[in-house]
């Protein structure tokens, strides 16, 4: 049921396209945005045509040179002001995300904090885009290295973190002096629309950021990527779509950043603090109802502690409360839609049919909303689909190992390489794992790694480039090198 507070908030959220600083209707009618906990429509928003998308690129490209010349301090201050406004509106943004995406309110508040940090961090980084000036090794020349904005960027984001995935791209793009067209996921566009209204309030000039919501995603994206005015694509989403965008981007030799799927190993050694490992596992798996690229996907546990680990996990899972994320005490919300429920059910049923033991959960929940019980499976093997595929649901599958070499081999037995989690009390073993596990990020005795100050990203089929940290702004900067004859030669 939608409360009066929810109805009042939803009525305030813009529901049109944001192009060149104006709210406009889409040429292709409207899109309904639903609450995954009830299936009920929350808001009807504009559906952009390909031509609407081109108008957004017209706007982004006409103001690119002016935005690039805008002093870095001014760009940074707009981001900082946006951060401050977001803190004032934190409760609105948290509720909005819970409504459109389903995560419990406490987690949505966490995302406001995390997502907001990108505005603050890159507001600070805007004034630290430094180059260098040095003599050539021969002493005959002076070398200057500078950085300048890449140009208009197309930013495509997924539904699972409706705020953070957008700020993680928009903030460094703006800090670097790039303009942007943002295409949020059609399932969760309301947070992006609210965010761009906030950026406007913070002083962002018209045309610098444009927002397009559309069901013609593939056609619109292909058209923008083929346009010579576009200079960069930054995408967060599934690996197959990322691969397709990389192929399209090749024709115009576009800069690309790809934050793609994951299949994170969560390795527990016999010497680990088991309580800490269980707490870490709960965070690494159930945050966002298992729908995170960083979600632990394969629990690789030493055979001497696996049974005890499973029992302690099951206790925690049994204590979880499933429901609409707005309700008090709810720790696990719905999945994003019924397709996600069916996929999770397929993975669990398949594993059980192949010999895995169901310890707790295992069922879709009937009666409205897209719910699936938090689940623990033991006796999982690498061959099962629940290990080989990205689950994107609240399912823990435990595999067992006996030697350190076997643990590393199992951890690396995937085409993905986003993040790995290792729990061990042995510092040297921890150091070896950092070197041997083939991922872009690692949680060592930690079940969560995301931080605006850290470079987020993967290797192998988990992607290209990094978001956040000192590295994040360079995704939106070109390097220019100039040589001059030495004044002393």
Which of 31, 418, 437, 473 is close enough to bind ligand NAD by CB under 6 A?
A: 418
Known active-site residue 178:
no
Q: Which residue's CB atom is positioned nearest to ligand NAD? A: 237
Q: Is 417 in the site for ligand NAD (CB under 6 A)?
A: no
The Cα diameter of the chain in Å comes to 82
The window from 12-20, 35-43, 108-116, 151-159 that contacts ligand NAD (CB under 6 A) reads 151-159
Q: Is 373 in the site for ligand NAD (CB under 6 A)?
A: no
Q: Is 158 in the site for ligand NAD (CB under 6 A)?
A: yes
Give residues 281-310 in contact with ligand NAD (rule: CB under 6 A). 293
Go through the chain and tell me how many residues it has. 489
- Cβ–Cβ contacts within 10 Å for residue 283, how many? 15
Among residues 100, 111, 125, 259, the one annotated as catalytic is: 259
Helix (H) or strand (E) holding 135: strand 132-135
Q: Is 342 in the site for ligand NAD (CB under 6 A)?
A: no
Whole-number Å distance between alpha carbons of 313 and 283: 11
Q: Which residue has the tokens 């995300």?
A: 97
Alpha carbon 319 to chain centroid distance? 28
Nearer to ligand NAD, 266 or 309 (CB): 266
Nearer to ligand NAD, 38 or 244 (CB): 244
CB of residue 165 to ligand NAD, shortest distance in Å: 6
Q: Is 424 in the site for ligand NAD (CB under 6 A)?
A: no
Helix (H) or strand (E) holding 8: helix 4-12
Tokens describing residue 290: 């298992």
Whole-number Å distance between alpha carbons of 150 and 179: 9
Helix (H) or strand (E) holding 362: none
Helix (H) or strand (E) holding 242: helix 239-250
User: Are 302 and 400 contacting, i.e. CB atoms less than 8 angstroms apart?
Assistant: yes
Nearer to ligand NAD, 292 or 376 (CB): 292
Nearer to ligand NAD, 249 or 331 (CB): 249
Nearest-CA neighbor of 237 among 171, 289, 186? Answer: 186
Per-residue binding letters, 160-199, with ligand NAD (x by CB under 6 A): x----x-----------------x-xx-------------
CB of residue 136 to ligand NAD, shortest distance in Å: 40
3 state DSSP class of 300: strand
Q: Is 441 in the site for ligand NAD (CB under 6 A)?
A: no
Q: Is 97 in the site for ligand NAD (CB under 6 A)?
A: no
Q: Is 416 in the site for ligand NAD (CB under 6 A)?
A: no
Phi-psi region of 387 (alpha: psi -120 to 50; beta: other; left: phi over 0): alpha
The window from 38-46, 48-56, 100-108, 234-242 that contacts ligand NAD (CB under 6 A) reads 234-242
Per-residue binding letters, 256-285, with ligand NAD (x by CB under 6 A): ---xxxx-----------------------
User: Are 175 and 79 contacting, i.e. CB atoms less than 8 angstroms apart?
Assistant: yes
As a 3-state breakdown, the chain gives helix, strand, coil percent values, each rounded to 5, of 40, 20, 35
Q: Is 233 in the site for ligand NAD (CB under 6 A)?
A: no
Nearer to ligand NAD, 192 or 424 (CB): 192
Per-residue binding letters, 208-227, with ligand NAD (x by CB under 6 A): ---------xx--x------
Nearer to ligand NAD, 72 or 464 (CB): 464
User: Are 107 and 162 contacting, i.e. CB atoms less than 8 angstroms apart?
Assistant: no
Known active-site residue 153:
no
* Phi, psi (degrees; rounded to nearest 5) at 73: -65, -40
Give residues 128-147 in contact with ligand NAD (rule: CB under 6 A). none
CB of residue 158 to ligand NAD, shortest distance in Å: 3
Q: Is 420 in the site for ligand NAD (CB under 6 A)?
A: no
Helix (H) or strand (E) holding 114: helix 105-125
Tokens describing residue 33: 């945005």
Whole-number Å distance between alpha carbons of 253 and 246: 10
Among residues 111, 125, 178, 293, the one annotated as catalytic is: 293
CB of residue 413 to ligand NAD, shortest distance in Å: 18
User: Are 118 and 167 contacting, i.e. CB atoms less than 8 angstroms apart?
Assistant: yes
Nearest-CA neighbor of 406 among 436, 442, 446, 383? Answer: 436
Nearer to ligand NAD, 325 or 468 (CB): 468
Which of 100, 125, 373, 390 is close enough to bind ligand NAD by CB under 6 A?
A: 390
Give residues 20-79 in contact with ligand NAD (rule: CB under 6 A). none
Nearer to ligand NAD, 115 or 458 (CB): 458
Burial (CB count within 10 angstroms: exposed 0-12, middle 13-18, buried 19+), residue 250: exposed
Binding-site residue total for ligand NAD (CB under 6 A)? 27
Which positions lie near ligand NAD, rule CB under 6 A?
A: 156-160, 165, 183, 185-186, 217-218, 221, 236-238, 241, 244-245, 259-262, 293, 390, 418, 458, 463
Active site residues: 259, 293
């Amino acid at each position: 049921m939608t409360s009066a507070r929810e109805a009042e908030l939803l009525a305030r959220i813009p529901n049109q396209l944001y192009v060149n600083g104006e709210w406009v209707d889409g040429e292709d009618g409207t899109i309904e945005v639903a609450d995954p906990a009830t299936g009920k429509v929350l808001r009807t928003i504009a559906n952009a045509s390909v031509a609407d998308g081109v108008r957004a690129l017209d706007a982004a490209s006409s103001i690119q040179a002016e935005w690039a010349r805008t002093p870095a301090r001014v760009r940074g201050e707009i981001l900082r002001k946006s951060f401050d406004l977001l803190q004032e509106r934190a409760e609105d943004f948290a509720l909005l995300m819970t409504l459109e995406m389903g995560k419990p309110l406490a987690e949505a508040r966490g995302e406001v904090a995390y997502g907001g940090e990108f505005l603050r961090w890159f507001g600070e980084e805007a004034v630290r885009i430094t180059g260098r000036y040095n003599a050539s090794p021969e002493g005959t020349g002076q070398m200057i290295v500078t950085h300048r904005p890449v140009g208009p960027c197309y930013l495509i984001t997924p539904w699972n973190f409706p705020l953070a995935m957008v700020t993680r791209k928009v903030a460094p793009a703006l800090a670097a002096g790039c303009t942007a067209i943002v295409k949020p996921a059609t399932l969760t566009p309301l947070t992006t629309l609210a965010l761009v209204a906030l950026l406007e309030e913070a002083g962002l000039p018209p045309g610098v950021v444009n927002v397009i919501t559309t069901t013609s995603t593939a056609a619109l994206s292909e058209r923008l990527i083929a346009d010579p005015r576009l200079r960069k694509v930054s995408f967060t989403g599934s690996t197959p779509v990322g691969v397709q965008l990389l192929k399209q981007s090749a024709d115009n030799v576009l800069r690309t950043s790809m934050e793609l799927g994951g299949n994170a190993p969560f390795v527990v050694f016999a010497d680990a603090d088991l309580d800490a490992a269980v707490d870490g596992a709960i965070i690494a798996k159930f945050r966002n109802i298992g729908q995170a690229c960083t979600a632990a996907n394969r629990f690789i546990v030493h055979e001497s502690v696996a049974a005890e680990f499973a029992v302690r996990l099951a206790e925690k899972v049994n204590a979880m409360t499933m429901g609409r994320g707005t309700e008090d005490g709810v720790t696990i919300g719905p999945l994003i839609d019924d397709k996600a429920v069916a996929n999770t059910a397929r993975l669990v049923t398949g594993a059980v049919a192949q010999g895995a033991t169901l310890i707790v959960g295992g069922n879709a929940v009937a009666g409205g909303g897209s719910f699936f019980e938090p689940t623990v499976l033991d006796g999982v093997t690498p061959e099962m689909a629940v290990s080989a595929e990205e689950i994107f649901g609240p399912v823990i599958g435990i595999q067992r190992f006996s030697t350190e070499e076997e643990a590393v081999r199992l951890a690396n037995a995937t085409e993905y390489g986003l993040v790995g989690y290792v729990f061990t009390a042995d510092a040297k073993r921890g150091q070896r794992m950092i070197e041997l596990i083939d991922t872009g990020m690692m949680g060592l005795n930690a079940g969560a790694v995301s931080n605006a100050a850290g470079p987020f990203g993967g290797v192998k089929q988990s992607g290209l480039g990094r978001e956040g940290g000192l590295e994040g702004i360079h995704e939106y900067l070109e390097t220019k090198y100039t040589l001059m004859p030495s004044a002393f030669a």
